[in-house]
Chain A
Amino acid sequence: MFTAIFGSVESGIIYAIMALGVYLSFRILDFPDLTVDGSFVTGAAVSAILIVSGVNPYLATLASLVAGFLAGCITGILHTKGKINALLSGILMMIALYSINLRIMGKSNVPLLQESTVITSLTDFWQKLGIDQGISNLFSSIGLSNYIPKTWAILLFMVIVTFVIKFVIDRFLKTEIGLALRATGDNKNMIHSFSANTDNYTILGLGLSNALVAFSGGLIAQYNGFSDIGMGIGMIIIGLASVIIGEAIFGTKTIARTTLAVIGGAIIYRIVVSIALRIRFLETGDVKLITAVIVILALVLPKVLDARKEKKRKKIRLKEREEIRTSRVGREHNA
C-alpha cells in the first residue's frame, strides 16, 4: 500500500507539470485546449527518439519542451488567424499530432529500458551519495523495512523541478506580459483597448501551456521506460481533474496558491486512482473511466452541495418569517 502511494506521489508530481500547463490554457487563457492529448505524446516521442539515438537525456527533455511549444503555437494560430472555434482547433491539432507522433517515433512504441535517461542518470548519481542507504537504515531500525521505496532520488528531483516551474509561472504571470496574458483570458475587449494584440497573447499562452505538457510527457516516458502512441489518450481530462480537485481542496485565492493547488490536485488524483485500482473488481483498463467519473463528480458535486445549502437556508428563512407572522397574529389576537 505504502509503496503504491509513494509511486503515485512520484508520478503525480511529474504529471503536475502537465496539469500546470492545462491550468495555463483552461484557467488563465480560458481556452479549452484539447491539443494536450497530442502534445503530451509529442513530448514523450521526441525525448524517446532522441535518447535512443544517443542524445544527452537532459537535452532531449528540453527538446520536448520546444516541440510542445510549437504544437501549442499552431493551435493558437489556427484559432486566432484561421478563426476556427477553440475546441475544434485543439481537436484538429490533436488528430494531426497523432500522425506526426507516429512519424517521430517511426513505430507505435519506443522502449527506453536499456537507455541512459534523466531518471537513470539521477538514480546512479544518487546511489553514489548513499543517502538511500541511510534512510533505509533509519526505516529498518524502526521496523518498517518492508515499506521503503527503492530510491528517493526521483521524488526529490521532481519536487525541485516542479516547484521551480511553479515559481517561474507565478513570477511570469506578474510581469507585464503575464498580466496582459491573464487579461486576455479575463476580458479580451478590455486588453484590446489597452494596445495588446490578443491574438499574439493567445498563441503565446497556448505555446507555453503545451510546452509544459510536452515536457511532462518527455519525463513520463523516461519514468515509465517507454514512449507509446496511446499514452496521451484522455490526458486533457487528467489535467482538468488535477486542476479542479486542487482548486476545490486548496483554494484559488492568489496565483501562487492556485498553482500550488494544481500540483496538489495532480498528486491527489494519482493517489485516488491507485487506491481505486486496488478494488478487485476494477482493472487497469478502467483508469480512464475512473478519471471521467472523478471529473464528473468534481464538476457536479459542488453545484449539488450549493443547491442543497441554498435550499436549507431558504427553509430556515421561511420558518423565521412564519414564526414572526404567527407571533404577530397571536399578539393581535390577544389584543
Chain B
Amino acid sequence: MLSLNQVFKVFNEGTMDEKIALNHLTLSLKQGDFVTVIGSNGAGKSTVMNTIAGKLIPDLGKVVIDGKEVTALSEYRRARFVGRVFQDPMAGTAPTMTIEENLAIAYNRISPRTLRLGVTKKRRDFFKEQLETLHLGLENRLNAKVGLLSGGERQALSLLMATFTEPKILLLDEHTAALDPSRAELITNLTREIVEKHQLTTLMVTHNMQQALDLGNRLIMMDKGQIIFEANEKEKAKLSIEQLLSEFQRIRGEKLSSDRAILG
C-alpha cells in the first residue's frame, strides 16, 4: 500500500548546519498495517511524515502509494488519498467555521469542489451519523464554531475529518501529545476504533512508549534518519517499555562505539 524506497533527504546542504534527515530509508506497509514510530528528537520521524504527505520532496528515492509513484506529487494532490492529523489540535480544523462546514470541507477531499451547497440535508445526516461515533455529543452542535471547542474535541473532530473519507494512508503525527492525559486516552481509544473500522493503513508517530506498544501491529524505532529497530506483530506483543529502552540504548551504544572505532 505504501512504500518508501531508499529515501534520502538532507537539510541545509553544504553549510555548517548540514543535517541528513533521512538516510536511505526503506519502509513498506501492507494494506491494513498500523505502524507506530518512535525515536528521539531529530531522528527523522517528522521528515518521514512530511515526505509521505508531500510537504517535503525527497532528494533521492521513491515514494509509492497504492502502486502509484507519488514522489514529486504536490501535497494538495496527494491529500486525496493521504489523511493526516497533526500534533496541534488547532492545525486540523478551521476555527471560524462551524462543525458541519469543517466536515463538508473534509468530505470534499475526494471529489472536486463545485458550486453546489457544501452542507446539504443528506450530508448533514451523514455528518451527524459520523459525529455520533465520537460519543462527544458534537452531533447536537453542528452549527457551533470549531474555535469554541476544547482541544480534545477539536482533535477528535480532526481525527474524524481525516478518516471518514477512508484515505489510503493515515498519518498521525503525535496527535495526542498536546492533550491532557484523559483527553489523550480518549483520542487514543478513538484512533483504535476508527482505524479498525475502516481498516486504514496507518503510520503513527508518538513519544509515548506505552501508546506505541498498545496500538498497531508493527513498531519501528528510528535514529539519525534510519530504522534501527523493528518489531512485527508477534514480537511487539511480547515487548515491554524496559526492553524497548534497553534495545534503544544497546543499538545506539553499539553505533557510538563503532563510530569511535572509526574516528579513533
Interface size on B, residues (CB 8 A): 31
Known: A183-B105, A186-B95. Is A175-B76 also a contact (CB below 8 A)? no
How distant is the Cα of A13 from the Cα of B80 in the complex, in angstroms? 43
A-B interface, 4 closest residue pairs, ranked by CB to CB distance from nearest: A195-B79, A186-B94, A176-B113, A179-B118
The 8 Å CB contact of B96, one of A175, A186, A194, A197, is: A186
How distant is the Cα of A198 from the Cα of B78 in the complex, in angstroms? 14
Contacts of B84 in A (CB 8 A): 193
CB distance from A253 to the nearest CB of B (A): 10
Contact B80 A175 (CB under 8 A): no
Contact A190 B115 (CB under 8 A): no
Nearest-neighbor residue (CB-CB) of B108 within chain A: A176
The 8 Å CB contact of B97, one of A179, A192, A194, A196, is: A179
Assess whether B262 is interfacial by the CB under 8 Å rule.
Answer: no
Q: How many A-B residue pairs have CB under 8 A?
A: 84
Query: Which chain B residues in 70-86 approach chain A with CB under 8 Å?
Result: 75-80, 84
Contacts of A177 in B (CB 8 A): 113-115
Interface of B, helix, strand, loop or mixed by DSSP: loop
How distant is the Cα of A20 from the Cα of B101 in the complex, in angstroms? 22
Task: Give B127-164 as 1s and 0s: 1 = Cβ < 8 Å from A's Cβ atoms.
Answer: 00000000000000000000000000000000001000
Assess whether A166 is interfacial by the CB under 8 Å rule.
Answer: no
Contact A187 B104 (CB under 8 A): no
CB distance from A322 to the nearest CB of B (A): 34
CB distance from A195 to the nearest CB of B (A): 4
Apart from A182-B96, A196-B105, list 4 A-B contacts with CB within 8 A. A175-B115, A182-B101, A193-B75, A195-B80
Contact A189 B117 (CB under 8 A): no
| Chain B residues packing against A (C-beta within 8 Å) | 53, 75-80, 84, 90-97, 101, 104-106, 108-110, 113-119, 161
Contacts of B80 in A (CB 8 A): 195
The 8 Å CB contact of B114, one of A176, A186, A190, A196, is: A176
Instruction: Give the interface centre of A175, A180, A187, A190 by most chain B CB atoms within 10 Å.
Output: A190
Contacts of A192 in B (CB 8 A): 75-76, 79
Contacts of A32 in B (CB 8 A): none
Nearest-neighbor residue (CB-CB) of B113 within chain A: A176
Contact B118 A174 (CB under 8 A): yes
Contact A194 B118 (CB under 8 A): no
Contact A186 B53 (CB under 8 A): no
Contacts of A225 in B (CB 8 A): none
Nearest-neighbor residue (CB-CB) of A201 within chain B: B113
Contact B97 A180 (CB under 8 A): no
Interface size on A, residues (CB 8 A): 22
CB distance from B79 to the nearest CB of A (A): 4
Contacts of B92 in A (CB 8 A): 190, 193
Contacts of B109 in A (CB 8 A): 194-195
Contact B97 A175 (CB under 8 A): no
Contact A189 B91 (CB under 8 A): yes
Contact A198 B76 (CB under 8 A): yes
Contacts of B78 in A (CB 8 A): 195
Known: A190-B91, A194-B105, A195-B109. Is A174-B97 also a contact (CB below 8 A)? no
Contact B118 A175 (CB under 8 A): yes
Assess whether A191 is interfacial by the CB under 8 Å rule.
Answer: yes
Task: Give A191-226 as 1s and 0s: 1 = Cβ < 8 Å from B's Cβ atoms.
Answer: 111111110000000000000000000000000000
Contacts of A189 in B (CB 8 A): 91
Contact A175 B116 (CB under 8 A): yes
Contact A191 B94 (CB under 8 A): yes
How distant is the Cα of A192 from the Cα of B105 in the complex, in angstroms? 11
